[in-house]
Structure 1
Amino acid sequence: MAAGLPLSPRGLGDSGSEGHSSLSSHNFTRLPSPTPENKDLFFVTRSSGVQPSPARSSSYSEANEPDLQMANGGKSLSMGPSPVSPNALDRTAAWLLTMNAQLLEDEGLGPDPPPRDRLRPKEELSQAEKDLAVLQDKLRISTKKLEEYETLFKCQEETTQKLVLEYQARLEEGEERLRRQQEDKDIQMKGIISRLMSVEEELKKDHAEMQAAVDSKQKIIDAQEKRIASLDAANARLMSALTQLKESMH
């Protein structure tokens, strides 16, 4: 039986064996949308082995048992014709329509969805794509800024490292220069102190020599004073002798 071929309950009643063989194929095609005009029609669906839900099949499970056996276990049916009641076929067609509508509703393809509801997923998808594009642009800009900041930070870090190394080299050079200057000053101070000590020694020596010379001259002066005194005494005696000689001659 071709997929999508409509059958009526009366046709099923006239050719029961053909209806049984068609239902036993287990391949059902969904109805586009169940309407009051085609509620008595049913199509063969794609899903094989459609099972009715317990809630919907419990009310007519006993009355529809031959039809369910025909839909679920076609291999158990005989190839010969069997009598089928029109009421059972009507119930089977209604059940198939109900199952088809339920499957369409479960997949979001219910009967005659409003155009706004059909366009809403596309609008939401377009808005989501726009939001995703905006977020991707923001992420790209943030990543670019982050890379720029990382590059800038790396350059600043390298510059800072160079400055630190340069300042450290200058500091070490300054410390070395100060150390050399301190050593030079120490050497100069030691030289000055040694020279002062040598000058002091020389001064002491010169003072001793001058004192010795003064002492010797003082001794000479004392000796001369004594000689002068003795000469004065001798001169006085000579003068008195001359005076006496003059007096004696007169």
Structure 2
Amino acid sequence: MPPEADASTEAVLYESRDRVAIITINNPAKANSINADVALGLAAAWRRFNASDDRVAVVTGAGEKAFSAGADLDAPPELRRFMPGVGIKVEKPIIAAVSGWCVGGSVVLVQMCDLCIASETARFSYPEAKLGFTGGLISSLATRIPHKVAMEFILMGEPMTAQRAYEVGFVNKVVPAGQHLAEAEAWARKLAGMAPLVLTTLKRFVGEALPRGPSEQAGRALADIEAVWGSDDYREGLAAFKAKRPPDYNGR
């Protein structure tokens, strides 16, 4: 667990260690469930990671009991907005370090990471069919693990152990309880010493090779559209139209 994780009031912690970003969901009182503050914190963390000299990110949850219990059902946020590769483009490698429960939207978060180290205590669950709603992003899981396994996990809603997740290719390595973060950091340090342009190029090529589910495609398209609507060029275009002058666009 990152130092002072439980003592901080920040919903998401960001710490740089030797060109590795440690991003921690810090809502342990509610099993690291994802509320609006956590969603905004994760989005800010990805933007900070993109702009930083950090070369690899490790995303984890405070404490050992849960990576995250998923969306806070009392006030569920829009998951796509903080998902790397969906709401926010992230071209540098991301490693998930999972301990305890990983439920619902947090499974999608792990799905969007490039690598995953799991404690032997990890349990993955996607109960949307039982709860009567879906955002659909989980559909892309079928492009990342075998189809029938993905359908069983998505439709039946039964928990998947760390060992089973490893066997079907959702997890890269299972480690003893409490060692998931240290192992993920060890992998991250190795990656941080490799050629960053090669890593980003290969990640981009793999991303282009993977089929995208309809919700993932829609999320990526909406992120691009929102970027245009929030741009300086959009504001300049409106101002120029109202002032009846030629616009002076800057491409930002």
User: Which TM bucket (shorter chain)?
Assistant: under 0.3
Normalised by the length of structure 1, the TM-score is 0.21
More helix by share: 1
More strand by share: 2
Is the radius of gyration larger for structure 1 or structure 2?
A: 1
Normalised by the length of structure 2, the TM-score is 0.21
